[in-house]
């Protein structure tokens, strides 16, 4: 049977659906002993939006890399517009209208948005190419993310991760000589704020109406429910379920992925054990209207508000001010590629780098203790890898993020700063990390946690809502709920 004929029938089972743009059958990919894809069938039709979900390391990115030609499959058949094809490179994929938004962003940080756009568009050459490239990317940014404020001539290294993510997305949707057919988006919203996420989802639907298909990989299940026609669930390198959007629920997606749904709960932790102890963090605001930030032993303090309103800067300012002081602190970055992982090191070396002082015995570093520590914490966070000696670059994105968490938790830091750290972490692991954070707080650690995910703030005893560069409103206990937070973010519940 040809791959084109493999296209399933409609719900009534009578009429054949349009020929898939891309179809693969029995795709496998091995990395040494690791089976990243174990015989996957997948097809996407023109104008269709498919959501792909699954645990960290399930094989989602590998499937996308095989589809886009970035990774060569070990075995499997491949067809484009119903015609079988053999090897498939990124160049060919690009020439046939396929684009990718990669999880680890593929832009060149030394170049501007305009120059990065030129890289994927050959017609942008000759006199004035730079101006034309700037116009092309700016127009697409305006279309997808109105009000983005990105200068197309600025070197990307100078932009925050959210802005770089917008450029990567907008670039994927630009067109010159080749008509766009399908865009693969691998966790495109993990560094975007709420508003930009909504803008992107609306754009995906608008594009689909024009026949441009999209494959959306995300751990944010509400996005799948909001935008996709069909959801595909992956577990351990296989597709285990495929469901139409109609009737699909968040709980069903969680169960199909093999996770247990956590019940959102306000922390019932008793803080009495630490009553009367001085705060571990006490950081004055820059002005009278900028609140001071406090965090005592055992406290989980959240930073909220619309993304880009000064939360990251304050988090870093506090961490910077504490360095060299008597209170030990650690920082978990959300932008792991830029400031988190040491790509050439193993899991064990990445995980223990903050603990070297504590692991010394009589001036010597105990290799055995370091390995034990790495083993314990990588098991606690369920890092999916053959061993702790695996290079961190060989891990899936979410598993790399778990190693960064483990690094901070394994250290002897009394205060841990979290900069939107759940980027790319799957639903099941998130629940476990929340539990770990609460357990570590019970032991007296303080957490200062910036998150762009509203529901995560229910883990906090106290939050500061940021607006226009300052900590504008403090909410505690039962007052920490979405409507109050949003009101404070937009300035409705000011001092
Ligand atoms: N270059 C590589 N070398 C060795 N193993 C790899 C490599 N890339 C991926 N793997 C392994 O393949 C498996 C699937 O990884 P993949 O990145 O596809 O998962 P994923 O579902 O995208 O996870 P996440 O949600 O964390 O991004 C993992 O076990 C991963 O460690």
CB 377 within 8 A of CB 350: no
Is the CB of residue 56 below 6 angstroms from any atom belonging to ligand 1? yes
* Residues 401 and 292 both lie in one domain: yes
In a domain, 5, yes or no: no
The confidence band for 259, taking pLDDT boundaries of 50, 70 and 90, is low
Digit-coded pLDDT (tens) for 198-234: 999 999 999 999 999 999 999 888 899 999 999 999 9
* SS3 (DSSP) at 40: strand
Q: How far is the CA of 129 from the centre of ligand 1 (A)?
A: 38
CB 60 within 8 A of CB 186: yes
In a domain, 10, yes or no: no
Is the CB of residue 428 below 6 angstroms from any atom belonging to ligand 1? no
Closest to 98 (Cα-Cα) out of 21, 41, 25, 39:
21
Is the CB of residue 430 below 6 angstroms from any atom belonging to ligand 1? no
* Residues 384 and 461 both lie in one domain: yes
In a domain, 12, yes or no: no
Q: How far is the CA of 393 from the centre of ligand 1 (A)?
A: 9
Last residue of a domain, one of 224, 256, 288: 256
Point out the least confidently predicted range of 66-70, 172-176, 257-261: 257-261
Digit-coded pLDDT (tens) for 126-139: 888 888 999 999 99
Q: Which two tokens stand for residue 41?
A: 């069938």
Number of folded domains that form the chain = 2
Q: How far apart are CA 217 and CA 61, in angstroms?
A: 8
* Residues 204 and 234 both lie in one domain: yes
Ligand 1 pocket test, pick from 72, 396, 426 with the greatest ligand atom count within 8 Å of Cβ, gives: 396
* Residues 338 and 222 both lie in one domain: no
Digit-coded pLDDT (tens) for 163-185: 999 999 999 999 988 999 999 99
pLDDT computed for residue 8 by the predictor: 43
Residue nearest to atom 24 of ligand 1 (CA): 56
Residue nearest to atom 5 of ligand 1 (CA): 394
* SS3 (DSSP) at 324: coil
pLDDT (mean) for 463-488:
88
Q: Which long-range contacts (CB under 8 A, 24 or more apart) does 126-132 make?
A: none
pLDDT (mean) for 6-22:
61
Report the CATH number that the domain containing residue 52 is assigned in CATH: 3.40.50.300
Digit-coded pLDDT (tens) for 362-386: 666 667 777 888 899 989 888 888 8
* Residues 214 and 284 both lie in one domain: no
* Residues 482 and 370 both lie in one domain: yes
Closest to 22 (Cα-Cα) out of 74, 122, 99, 102:
99
pLDDT at 268 over 60: no
pLDDT at 9 over 60: no
The confidence band for 349, taking pLDDT boundaries of 50, 70 and 90, is confident
Q: How far is the CA of 395 from the centre of ligand 1 (A)?
A: 5
Is the CB of residue 400 below 6 angstroms from any atom belonging to ligand 1? no
How high is the mean pLDDT of the chain? 85
Last residue of a domain, one of 223, 256, 289: 256
In a domain, 168, yes or no: yes
CB 160 within 8 A of CB 176: no
pLDDT (mean) for 93-106:
86
Q: Which string of DSSP letters, residue by residue, matches 360-413?
A: EETTEE-HHHHHHHHHHHHHHTT--SS-TTSBGGGS-HHHHHHHHHHHHHHS--
* Residues 277 and 252 both lie in one domain: no
Ligand 1 pocket test, pick from 34, 72, 347, 427 with the greatest ligand atom count within 8 Å of Cβ, gives: 34
* Better pLDDT: 456 or 140: 140
Residue nearest to atom 7 of ligand 1 (CA): 394
Q: How far apart are CA 385 and CA 395, in angstroms?
A: 7
* Residues 233 and 135 both lie in one domain: yes
Is the CB of residue 235 below 6 angstroms from any atom belonging to ligand 1? no
Q: How far apart are CA 210 and CA 137, in angstroms?
A: 20
pLDDT computed for residue 6 by the predictor: 44
Point out the least confidently predicted range of 89-93, 187-191, 360-364: 360-364
pLDDT at 10 over 70: no
pLDDT computed for residue 7 by the predictor: 44
Digit-coded pLDDT (tens) for 137-166: 999 999 999 989 899 999 988 888 889 999
Q: How far apart are CA 140 and CA 299, in angstroms?
A: 44
- Phi and psi of 324, rounded to 5°? 85, -10
Residue nearest to atom 29 of ligand 1 (CA): 57
* Residues 288 and 195 both lie in one domain: no
Q: How many Cβ atoms are within 10 Å of 440's Cβ, its own excluded?
A: 18
Q: What angle do CA 14, 18, 19 make, to 5 degrees?
A: 120
* Residues 113 and 192 both lie in one domain: yes
In a domain, 406, yes or no: yes
pLDDT at 403 over 60: yes
Is the CB of residue 62 below 6 angstroms from any atom belonging to ligand 1? yes
Last residue of a domain, one of 217, 232, 256: 256
* SS3 (DSSP) at 142: helix
* Residues 183 and 318 both lie in one domain: no
Tell me the β-bridge partners of 331: 417
In a domain, 482, yes or no: yes
In a domain, 378, yes or no: yes
The domain in which residue 476 lies consists of 272-490
* Residues 252 and 307 both lie in one domain: no
ipTM: 0.97
pLDDT at 41 over 50: yes
Point out the least confidently predicted range of 310-319, 331-340, 441-450: 331-340
* SS3 (DSSP) at 91: helix
Q: How many Cβ atoms are within 10 Å of 365's Cβ, its own excluded?
A: 12
In a domain, 247, yes or no: yes
In 233-308, alpha helices (H)? 250-256
pLDDT at 67 over 80: yes
Q: How far is the CA of 64 from the centre of ligand 1 (A)?
A: 11
């Amino acid at each position: 049977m040809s791959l084109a004929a493999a296209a399933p029938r409609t719900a009534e089972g009578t009429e054949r659906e349009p020929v898939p743009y891309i179809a693969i059958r029995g795709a496998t990919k091995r990395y040494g002993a690791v089976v990243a894809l174990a015989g996957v069938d997948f097809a996407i039709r023109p104008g269709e939006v498919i959501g792909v979900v699954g645990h960290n390391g399930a094989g989602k990115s590998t499937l996308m890399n095989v589809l886009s030609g970035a990774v060569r499959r070990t075995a499997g058949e491949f067809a484009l517009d119903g015609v079988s094809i053999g090897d498939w490179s990124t160049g060919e994929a690009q020439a046939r209208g396929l684009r990718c938004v990669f999880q680890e962003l593929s832009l060149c940080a030394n170049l501007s948005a305009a120059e990065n756009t030129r890289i994927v568009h050959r017609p942008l050459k000759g006199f004035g190419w730079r101006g034309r490239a700037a116009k092309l990317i700016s127009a697409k940014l305006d279309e997808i993310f109105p009000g983005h404020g990105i200068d197309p001539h600025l070197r990307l290294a100078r932009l925050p991760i959210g802005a770089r993510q917008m450029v990567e997305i907008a670039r994927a949707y630009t067109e010159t000589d080749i008509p766009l057919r399908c865009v693969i988006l691998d966790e495109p919203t993990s560094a975007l704020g709420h508003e930009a996420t909504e803008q992107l989802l609306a754009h995906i639907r608008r594009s689909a109406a024009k026949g441009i298909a999209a494959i959306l990989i995300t751990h944010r299940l509400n996005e799948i429910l909001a935008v996709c026609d069909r959801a595909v669930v992956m577990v351990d390198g296989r597709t285990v379920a495929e469901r139409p959007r109609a009737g699909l629920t968040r709980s069903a997606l969680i169960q199909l992925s093999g996770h247990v749904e956590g019940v959102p709960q306000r922390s019932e932790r008793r803080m009495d054990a630490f009553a009367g102890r001085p705060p571990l963090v006490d950081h004055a605001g820059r002005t009278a209207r900028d609140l001071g930030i406090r965090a005592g032993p055992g406290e989980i303090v959240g930073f909220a508000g619309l993304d880009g309103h000064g939360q990251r800067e304050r988090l870093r300012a506090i961490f910077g001010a504490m360095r060299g002081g008597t209170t030990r602190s650690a920082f978990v970055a959300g932008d792991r590629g830029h400031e988190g992982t040491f790509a050439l090191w193993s899991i064990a070396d990445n995980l223990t780098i903050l603990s070297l002082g504590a692991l010394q015995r009589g001036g010597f570093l105990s290799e055995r203790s370091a390995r034990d520590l790495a083993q314990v914490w990588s098991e606690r966070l369920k890092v999916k890898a053959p061993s702790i000696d695996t290079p961190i670059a060989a891990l899936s994105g979410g598993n790399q993020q778990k190693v960064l968490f483990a690094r901070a938790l394994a250290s002897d830091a009394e205060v841990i700063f979290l900069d939107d750290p759940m980027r790319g972490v799957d639903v099941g692991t998130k629940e476990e990390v929340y539990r770990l954070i609460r357990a570590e707080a019970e032991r007296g650690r303080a957490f200062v946690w910036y998150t762009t995910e509203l529901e995560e703030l229910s883990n906090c005893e106290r939050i500061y809502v940021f607006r226009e560069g300052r900590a504008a409103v403090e909410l505690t206990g039962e007052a920490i709920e979405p409507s109050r937070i949003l009101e404070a973010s937009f300035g409705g519940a000011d001092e």
